[in-house]
Structure 1
Amino acid sequence: MLVESLPEFFIVNLGVFGLIITGFLVEKHYVSRPAMFANGIALNVYVYEILFPPEWLLLYADLGLIVSGVAILSYATEAKLPEGYYNFIWYTYSSIIVGGVILFTLLG
């Protein structure tokens, strides 16, 4: 099986990396609400698998779940969110940021 040739930490987190890569490819000039939802879910799936996650990561994941829930709900109802919301998620929950946090905790 081809996946077995990958590093163990990548295999274990393949679903998380898949969601983040998909979100990254969708993000052109802003973080779309579906990409934000994928990032929030990926982050929470990752944190759920950690035995003893640091408190800051738990808080970041919890906030990400709330923010991503609002994003996908507004997308489903076609409601526009305030401009500040989009700026907030760009700097806090874009695929680059979430991926960086995951890699930081994996390697750190």
Structure 2
Amino acid sequence: MLVESLPEFFIVNLGVFGLIITGFLVEKHYVSRPAMFANGIALNVYVYEFLMPPEWLLLYADIGIVVSGIAILSYATETKLPEGYYNIIWYTYSSIAVGVVILLTISS
């Protein structure tokens, strides 16, 4: 199997990386609501598998699931979120931000 030739940390987190890469590819000028949702889910899947996550990571993941839930709910109901929401999400829960957090904590 080809995936077995990858490093162990990548194999274990393949689902997380897949969601983040998908989100990154759809993020052009802003973070779309489906990408926010994918990033929030990816982050929480990663943290759930973390044996002893730091408190700040648990808080970040909890906030991420709330903002991603709001994002996907507004997308499903075709409700526009305030512009500030998108700006804050770009810096905190974009695929790049979530990816960096995961990469920084993956070796912990």
TM-score bracket relative to the smaller structure: over 0.9
Q: 1:37 maps to what in 2?
A: 37
Q: Name 1:7's counterpart in structure 2.
A: 7
**Distance in structure 2 (CA, Å) of the matches to 1:106 and 1:32:** 26
| TM-score in terms of structure 1 length | 0.99
Which digits, 9 at most, give the CA deviation of each residue in 1:89-108, with x for residues without a partner? Answer: 00000000000000000135
Gap runs ≥5 in structure 2: none
Normalized against structure 2, the TM-score is what? 0.99
Task: Give the superposed CA RMSD.
Answer: 0.6
Counterpart mapping for 1:2-81 below 5 A: 2-81=2-81
1:66-99 CA distances to partner (integer Å, 9 max, x unpaired)?
A: 0000000000000000000000100000000000
CA separation in 2, counterparts of 1:46 and 1:107?
A: 12
Task: Say how many residue pairs are matched.
Answer: 108
